[in-house]
Amino acid sequence: MTATTHALASGPGWQVSDVVCTAGAGDRPFEETHRDFCVALVTSGTFRYRAQQGTAMLAPGSLLLGNPGTCYECGHEHGSGDRCLSFHFGPAYMERIAADVPGARKLAFEAARLPPLPALAPLLATAEAARDMADNDAFEELSLRIAGASVTAATDATPVRRAPSRRDQKRVAEAVRRIELDADGLVSLSALAEETATSPYHFLRIFRQVTGMTPYQFLLRTRLHRAAVRLRMANETVSVIAFEAGFNDLSTFNRRFRRVMGETPGDYRTRRPNSALPATSAVAALPGQSDVGPHQPGR
């Protein structure tokens, strides 16, 4: 067996896997079939991809595009091994995406691949970082973005940048409030979209337009902000603060905190003013104070 597949995350109509292939020039390619739409981000190595749409050489930064029911072969005559983030989408999922992409008239990829495109570079780097940091909660949102970006780029559709309508702005405001109330819980992007009566892809797009960040980024910012405040005000352990802020893994919290705040949670805490009160005392000293600060949905 020359390829190993590790499932990272999945949801209704989508799944993403980390695929590592060790095949080389001496390994004969064999025919396989795409069971659904496939968008595979090549993160290392090269290989030849042959499908109904044509033959293409895949290199890091390029996207393999596959249609449901299409037979394909991958060969490594020019080098050994590769690694991909492989996104799979059901037809109904992609149909909803295409309906929200201006100019996407046909629900099928006509090319076998997308070359490394500057416009896609930040998104692909974010996806690879999520894999390497085991940030699997990020993939619901990333799957929508990858699907929309691949449909847009493959059809040469240029997104129309209209200002969000007042109704869409109201939807985003409602979602922000929901995120603020439930930052330490598990509220998914699809749940937020359903509550605002929009498709997940449309909701993601208008949320970014209005707030300047994605729902997941807003969630993480809120969680980190609250954790930072508690580190200054409370005497609980770092792990207790991290878990109560909504982080399920202490090492993930430590990495994210250091990346955003520029220092570890412990170092940040040691620099708190001497006048800072323990969180329990601070809350008790403020009449009417309750835990109603900004909460965000988990992804």
Mind listing the pLDDT tens digit for each residue in 204-220? Answer: 989 988 888 899 988 88
One domain, residues 191 and 263: yes
Domain count for the chain: 2
One domain, residues 17 and 97: yes
H or E stretch covering 163: none
The 8-class DSSP code of residue 248 comes to S
One domain, residues 128 and 188: no
**50, part of any domain:** yes
pLDDT > 70: percent of the chain? 87
Query: pLDDT band for position 86 (50/70/90)?
Result: very high
Instruction: Characterize the bridge pairing of strands 71-75 and 47-51.
Output: antiparallel
One domain, residues 113 and 254: no
Give me the residue label for tokens 């940030």.
135
Give me the residue label for tokens 């929309």.
148
The 8-class DSSP code of residue 120 comes to G
One domain, residues 39 and 141: yes
**C-alpha angle with apex 247: 241 to 250, nearest 5 degrees?**
75
Task: Return the number of other C-beta atoms located less than 10 Å from residue 32's C-beta.
Answer: 14
One domain, residues 10 and 151: yes
Going by C-alpha positions, the residue among 16, 27, 63 that lies closest to residue 43 is 63
The residues with which 50 forms a beta bridge, in sequence order, are 55, 73
**293, part of any domain:** no
- Residue ending a domain, among 92, 123, 155, is 155
**283, part of any domain:** no
**CATH number reported for the structural domain that contains residue 253 in this entry:** 1.10.10.60
- Residue ending a domain, among 155, 190, 211, is 155
**281, part of any domain:** no
**151, part of any domain:** yes
Query: 127-131, 198-202, 282-286: which has the minimum mean pLDDT?
Result: 282-286
**CATH number reported for the structural domain that contains residue 59 in this entry:** 2.60.120.280
Query: pLDDT band for position 121 (50/70/90)?
Result: confident
The residues with which 49 forms a beta bridge, in sequence order, are 56, 74
Looking at residue 294, its pLDDT comes to 37
User: How many Å apart are CA 57 and CA 163, to the nearest integer?
Assistant: 39
**201, part of any domain:** yes
Query: pLDDT band for position 180 (50/70/90)?
Result: confident
User: How many Å apart are CA 267 and CA 250, to the nearest integer?
Assistant: 15
**216, part of any domain:** yes
> What's the Cα-to-Cα distance from 63 to each of 78, 86, 249, 276, rounded to whole Å?
18, 9, 31, 51
Looking at residue 276, its pLDDT comes to 47
pLDDT > 90: percent of the chain? 35
Looking at residue 156, its pLDDT comes to 66
One domain, residues 114 and 171: no
One domain, residues 13 and 106: yes
- Residue ending a domain, among 100, 125, 155, is 155
One domain, residues 70 and 187: no
User: How many Å apart are CA 266 and CA 123, to the nearest integer?
Assistant: 31
> Which two three-digit tokens encode residue 240?
């207790």
Looking at residue 51, its pLDDT comes to 93
Looking at residue 296, its pLDDT comes to 39
One domain, residues 70 and 206: no
Query: pLDDT band for position 28 (50/70/90)?
Result: confident
Residue 72: left (phi > 0), alpha (psi -120 to 50), or beta? beta
User: How many Å apart are CA 113 and CA 40, to the nearest integer?
Assistant: 9
Query: pLDDT band for position 161 (50/70/90)?
Result: low
H or E stretch covering 151: helix 139-154
> Which two three-digit tokens encode residue 1?
């067996």
Q: What are phi and psi of 275, to 5 degrees?
A: -80, -5
One domain, residues 7 and 148: yes
Is residue 93 scored above 90 in pLDDT?
A: yes
One domain, residues 110 and 39: yes
Residue 154: left (phi > 0), alpha (psi -120 to 50), or beta? alpha
The 8-class DSSP code of residue 101 comes to S
Q: Which residue range(s) make up the domain with 101?
A: 3-155
**179, part of any domain:** yes
Query: pLDDT band for position 226 (50/70/90)?
Result: confident
Give me the residue label for tokens 């969630």.
219
